[in-house]
Amino acid sequence: MIRLLTLLLCLLAGPALAQAPGDAAYARLASDSYAEIEAGIVGLGASGDPRAGAVIGALADGRLLSRPADRALFIRDGSGLVEARTGAPASAEGLKPVRANNKVRRAIEAAMGGLNLTSPDPGKRREAADAMFKARDAGALPALDAALAKEADASVRRALTEARAAVILARPGAAEPERLAAIQTIAGRGDGDALGLLRALSADPSEAVRAAADRGVRTVETRLALIGAAQNVWYGISLGSVLLLAAIGLAITFGVMGIINMAHGEMVMLGAYTTFLVQGAIRAHAPALSEWSLAASIPAAFLVAGAVGVLIERSVIRHLYGRPLETLLATFGISLVLQQGVRSIFGPTNREVSAPAFMTGAFDLFGLSITWGRLWIVVFSFGVFLGLLFVLRRTSFGLKTRAVTQNRRMAAAMGIRTPLVDALTFGLGSGIAGIAGVALSQIDNVSPNLGQGYIIDSFLVVVFGGVGNLWGTLVAALTLGVANKLFEPYLGAVLAKIALLVFIILFIQKRPRGLFALKGRAVES
């Protein structure tokens, strides 16, 4: 209704102003009447005056002042004043601001939209086109056509065409072929807005339009369903990469060494707290480098968690080799001590770890919305995985690790210092867990309980993938992550999780040694 009124006013005011576009519009802006101000805005917007944008923008910000005596207009610019029409510096007394009410503000928006359509910045033009797509204001058609005629940028052109199609569909009197073409364009856009527009046509009097709209709806729905599924798969990969990060250290300590390391979650937590400390130190001593604090945290977290891991291995676990269930108890005890230790030092509340700029924000990929933070975590977890794979398969240390875990006595006979290898391997697994903590500090609360939330999932991932098999861990983490997110829309988050737990329990019955079971005599215990 209000839009119609504005439109009406615009149409009425248009011809009157055409005789002396600029002058009359400026005079009206200086008026006391809201209706006059509104008409002034519309006139100025249509005048093509190069100062129009600045003047209307100033009005929007409340920086446009008028002198009642001679209806002159000024813009407050920082501390000084400039003459509104010329932009020349000026000084004046007895000024009062040009007022605005809601109708005036709407007129400002509409005028700015129209002005932006001719802005030199393609981003601004696109935004204006999108705004017009949403507004579907029939009065904007000439402006759109004009803009379309001289638009060179392809993406802006598309936005303009879509806005034009939306306007045509919303306008009652358009010819049928034109409407059919518009439907094509809208269906090509293929998002939720397009769906709404096309659905609104289901009661159209023309049968051809109805049929075309119906086809369009189906196309868009299919596309949206695909995008929805793809989005869920992406969320699943993202969750899977978190599971992978959490589990990968455990794939070493539990999977390779056979230690049921219940303190694994606490290694992750130590990594997260290290990140917190490193960030704090960098902020205090070298604020210029704070963008890099996360990168600096990675080696720090590896060293801290790895050192704690070596300490644990040397002091406790080495006495318990060959008694896997007892390592479970001892490491659970260690996890309680670590949790309480961190709680005593840092307090029970969450600590703030900030995200660097490159990890904030999101971008759009074929209709999928992808946040940078999640993307980096996915990349990071695959990087850690490949790095670990490299260490185990291509380095002398990895060779010794495999030798010791496969046949300790034989390895010792070959001159490998097995205690050292044990300690370093456990340290490696713990260090990797610490690195995971750096990434998880970005998406989870850094609190003493951080590790608790991951320990069960981590074990399930390793067991599901098959103990002693890094690739199995990778596949298991991604499978569980994607399955979880695909179930979630149907079952809800909690039931999806329960369903997965039940699935794993049943799966273990079928394949008691996981997805990728090791074969051979080493398996039989």
CB atoms within 10 A of CB 269: 31
Pattern 415-454, binding to another protein, x per CB under 8 A? -------------------------------------x--
Q: How far apart are CA 466 and CA 517, in angstroms?
A: 5
Residue from 460, 477, 480, 482 binding another protein (CB under 8 A): 460
DSSP 446: B
Dihedral sign of CA atoms 174, 178, 181, 182 in order:
negative
Burial of 15 (0-12, 13-18, 19+ CB in 10 A): exposed
Please pick, from the candidates 8, 20, 295, 505, the single residue that binds another protein as defined by CB under 8 A: 505
CB of 56 to another protein, least distance (A): 53
CA 385, CA 436: separation in Å to the nearest integer?
A: 11
Binding of another protein by 501 (CB under 8 A): yes
* Other CB atoms within 10 Å distance of the CB of residue 226: 13
Sign of CA dihedral 485, 487, 493, 499: negative
Among the residue ranges 8-16, 72-80, 207-215, 395-403, the one whose residues contact another protein (CB under 8 A): 395-403
Q: Which C-beta is closer to another protein: that of 137 or that of 457?
A: 457
The only residue of 216, 249, 271, 398 in contact with another protein, by rule CB under 8 A? 398
CA atoms within 13 A on the CB side of 77: 15
Minimum Å distance from CB 472 to another protein? Answer: 8
How many residues touch another protein under the rule CB under 8 A: the total is 70
Residue 172 has φ and ψ, to the nearest 5°, of -65, -40
In angstroms, the Cα distances linking 259 to 99, 332, 392, 514 are: 74, 12, 17, 17
Output the smallest distance, CB 387 to another protein, in A: 13
Position 407 contacts another protein (CB under 8 A)? yes
Closer to another protein by Cβ: residue 9 or 328: 328
Nearer to another protein, 34 or 507 (CB): 507
Using CB under 8 A, which of 468, 480, 487, 488 touches another protein? 468
- Nearer to another protein (CB atom), residue 11 or residue 523: 523
Q: Within 10 A of 296 (CB to CB), how many other CB atoms are there? A: 18
Tokens linked to 177? 């072929």
DSSP state of 82: E
**CB half-sphere exposure, 316, CA atoms < 13 A:** 20
Closest to another protein by CB, 213 vs 388, is: 388
The H or E element that residue 179 is part of is helix 176-189
Residue 494, interface with another protein (CB under 8 A)?
A: yes
Among 131, 168, 392, 435, binds another protein (CB under 8 A): 392
> Of 335-374, which residues contact another protein (CB under 8 A)?
335-341, 343-344
- Using CB under 8 A as the binding rule, whether residue 71 contacts another protein is answered as no
Answer for the pair 435, 302: CB distance below 8 angstroms, yes or no. Answer: yes
Q: Minimum CB separation from another protein for residue 399, in Å?
A: 9
Alpha helices in 19-136 (DSSP H): 21-29, 34-47, 52-61, 102-116, 122-135
Provide the mask over 251-280, with x wherever binding to another protein is found by CB under 8 A and - wherever it is not.
Answer: ----xxxx-x-x------------------
Neighbours of 67 (CB within 10 A): 15
Q: Is 12 in the site for another protein (CB under 8 A)?
A: no
The reply on whether position 389 binds another protein by CB under 8 A is yes
Which of 459, 475, 479, 481 forms a contact with another protein (CB under 8 A)? Answer: 459
For 214, the token pair is 């119906």
Three-state DSSP class for 417?
coil
Choose, by CB under 8 A, the member of 53, 122, 324, 367 that binds another protein.
324
Q: Is residue 322 involved in binding another protein (CB under 8 A)?
A: yes
Q: Which residues bind another protein (CB under 8 A)?
A: 255-258, 260, 262, 316, 319-330, 332-341, 343-344, 389, 392-393, 398, 401-402, 405-408, 452, 456, 459-460, 463, 467-472, 494-495, 497-498, 501-502, 504-506, 508-510, 512-513, 516, 518, 522, 525
